Amino acid sequence: MTMNTPSAATSTGAPPRDRPAPRIERLQIRNLTKQFGGLAALRAFDLDVRGGEFISLLGPSGCGKTTALNCIAGLLEPDGGTIDVDGRSVVGTPPERRRFGMVFQNYALFPHLSVDRNVSFGLEMQRVPKAQMSERVDRVLDLVRLREHREKYPAQLSGGQQQRVAIARAVVTEPRLMLMDEPLSNLDAKLRLEMRTEIRRLHQELGLTTIYVTHDQEEALSLSDRVVLMDQGVIRQVGTPRDVYLEPASAYAANFLGARNLMPVRVTARDADRIEVVTPSGTALTGTSRGTLGPGDDAVAAIRPEHVVVRPQGQNGGNSAPGTVVTVEFLGQGTELGIQTVREELFIARSDDLWHPGDPVDVHLPPERLLVFPDDGGGA
C-alpha cells in the first residue's frame, strides 16, 4: 500500500480485461434486514455487485457481515428486502438451487470422502457425466495444486491444503457467485498470506464474482475491488480499498482501518476543510474536516501511527507537542512508539529511527493527515 495524497484515491473497481467473462452481470441487494430475537443483526443492507467483482464485507464480529453472507447464500431467510441476480429474485429459492459456491471458515470438508470425492460432490449433485466430471476435477485440482493429494482424506491434509480443497470444491461447480466466510482465519500467519495470494490469483484466473467476509482489514484491502465496511448491522462505508483507507467516512471507519490515535476534541474554528480543534487537556490542533462541523461541536480527531511525525525536541512548529517515548516495539519495518505528551496524551507513532524509552521527543501531527470527524460514538 503506497501512501498517496487523499485526492489521488479514485475508483479502480473495474476488473482487469484479461479475466474470463463472469457468469452473472449483476447482483443487486436492497433493504435486506434480519433480526435475531428482536435484535437487528442486519438493517437496510443495500449492495450492488458487478459481475467479476471481488467485494469484501469488513467489520468486527457481530457487525452482521456473516448474517448478510448467509442471507445471500440462502442459509438464512431474511426478514425483509430483495436479492436479485441479473434482475431475478433468489429470495425463497433454497440454497441448493441458487448455484452459489461457498467456502467456510472451518473448511467443512466431508471427512468420510477423499479429496477427489469432496471436489466431485457438487458435480455429482448436478449429474455431470462421469468423463466430463473427472476432467473438471483434474483441472481444478491442478489449479489449486493438489493433484498428488487427490486420494487422501481431509484429516490427512494440512490446514492450508484443506482450505484449498474447500475452494476447489466450490469452484469446480462453476458457481454464479462465490461466497467466502472468513476462509483464512483458521490458518497461521504465514499460510494466511500465501492463501491470500492464492485466492487473489484464482479470482483473477476465473473471474468469479466474489463476496468475501472478513474482520481483517489487511485481507479486505489487499483482496478486494471494493470494501464494504459494516458496524452493528449497518453499512458504514463502501469504496475501493484506497478510498476507505485514505478517506475514511467516519471516526468508526478511521478507527477500524488503523487510525489508532483517536481523540475527543471540540471544534473552535473552521475555514472550509481546515479546522481548528482543542483537546480536553487544552492542546490546540489544526486538522482537516470530514463532515459537517462548526465551532462548539464535539468531534473526534484521528491520525494513523504512520502519519505521526516524531522528531527530537526543539524543532517546534505548529501542531506539535513535546513528550516522552514510553514504549518501543520493534516491528521489523521500523518501530512502533508509544509517546506520552506533557499534557498526558498518549500517541502511537511509527518511526524508522532508533528511539529508546525515556527519550524526549516532539510529536508532530500534520494537519492534512489529522482528520476530524463528527462524534458518531463509534470511534473514540
Partner 1 sequence: MAKGTHTLESAGAAVARPRRAGRPRAFWIGLLLLAPAVILVLALFFYPFFYGLRLSFDPVTGGRFENYRAFFSDARERATIGNTLRLAVPATVINLAVAIPLAYRMRRRFYGRRVITGLFVIPMTLGTVLIAQGMLSFFGRKGWFNKTLELLHLTDEPLRLVHNRTGVIISLTIAEFPVVFLILLGFVSGIDPNLERAAQMLGANGWQRFRRIMLPLMIPGIATAFALSFVATFAVFPSAVMLGQPAGETRVIAIAAWQAAYERFDYSAASAIAIVMAGIEVLVLAIVLLGRSRLYRGPSSGGKG
Q: Which of 17, 88, 112, 356 lies at the binding interface for partner 1 (CB under 8 A)?
A: 112
Q: How far apart, in whole angstroms, are the C-alpha atoms of residue 222 and residue 2?
A: 12
* Nearest to 312, CA basis, from 301, 302, 323: 323
Q: Is 155 in the site for partner 1 (CB under 8 A)?
A: yes
One-letter amino acid for residue 216 of the chain: D
Q: Which of 6, 13, 15, 159 lies at the binding interface for partner 1 (CB under 8 A)?
A: 159
Q: Is 154 in the site for partner 1 (CB under 8 A)?
A: yes
Q: Is 302 in the site for partner 1 (CB under 8 A)?
A: no
Q: Which of 102, 180, 202, 349 lies at the binding interface for partner 1 (CB under 8 A)?
A: 102
Q: Is 170 in the site for partner 1 (CB under 8 A)?
A: yes
Tell which positions 126-145 bind partner 1, by CB under 8 A. 126
The answer to whether residues 146 and 115 touch, using CB atoms and an 8 Å cutoff, is yes
> Residue 16 carries which DSSP code?
P
* Residue 49 Cβ vs partner 1, minimum distance, rounded to whole Å: 18
* Residue 81 Cβ vs partner 1, minimum distance, rounded to whole Å: 21
* Residue 195 Cβ vs partner 1, minimum distance, rounded to whole Å: 14
Q: Which of 23, 34, 149, 169 lies at the binding interface for partner 1 (CB under 8 A)?
A: 169
Tell which positions 62-101 bind partner 1, by CB under 8 A. 73, 75, 94-97, 99-101
* Nearest to 168, CA basis, from 117, 127, 92, 129: 117
* Nearest to 47, CA basis, from 231, 180, 199, 239: 239
Tell which positions 172-211 bind partner 1, by CB under 8 A. 173, 179, 186
Q: Is 355 in the site for partner 1 (CB under 8 A)?
A: no
70 vs 320, which CB is nearer to partner 1? 70
Helices and strands: H and E segment counts in the chain: 8, 20
Q: How many residues form the binding site for partner 1 (CB under 8 A)?
A: 33
- Binding part of the chain for partner 1, among 151-159, 254-262, 328-336, 363-371 by CB under 8 A, reads 151-159
Q: Which of 45, 54, 107, 347 lies at the binding interface for partner 1 (CB under 8 A)?
A: 107
Burial 154-172 (b: 16+ CB within 10 A, else e): beebebbbbbbbbbbbbbb
93 vs 324, which CB is nearer to partner 1? 93
Q: Which of 59, 122, 241, 287 lies at the binding interface for partner 1 (CB under 8 A)?
A: 122
Q: Is 258 in the site for partner 1 (CB under 8 A)?
A: no
The answer to whether residues 228 and 251 touch, using CB atoms and an 8 Å cutoff, is no
Q: Is 212 in the site for partner 1 (CB under 8 A)?
A: no
Cell triple for 103: 467456502
Query: Which residue bears the cell 524509552?
Result: 357
Supply the Cα-derived Rg of the chain in whole angstroms: 24
Q: Which residues pair with 262 in a beta bridge?
A: 302
Q: How far apart, in whole angstroms, are the C-alpha atoms of residue 182 and residue 194?
A: 15
Q: How far apart, in whole angstroms, are the C-alpha atoms of residue 320 and residue 285?
A: 8
Q: Which of 56, 162, 237, 351 lies at the binding interface for partner 1 (CB under 8 A)?
A: 162
Residue ranges of alpha helices (H) inside the chain are 65-73, 115-125, 130-143, 159-171, 189-206, 217-223, 241-246, 251-256
- Binding part of the chain for partner 1, among 18-26, 121-129, 274-282, 343-351 by CB under 8 A, reads 121-129
Q: How far apart, in whole angstroms, are the C-alpha atoms of residue 14 and residue 280?
A: 44
Cα 351–chain centre separation:
25
Q: How far apart, in whole angstroms, are the C-alpha atoms of residue 320 and residue 314?
A: 11
- Binding part of the chain for partner 1, among 83-91, 167-175, 201-209, 303-311 by CB under 8 A, reads 167-175
* Residue 88 Cβ vs partner 1, minimum distance, rounded to whole Å: 18
Which positions lie near partner 1, rule CB under 8 A? 73, 75, 94-97, 99-102, 104, 106-112, 121-122, 125-126, 153-155, 159, 162, 166, 169-170, 173, 179, 186
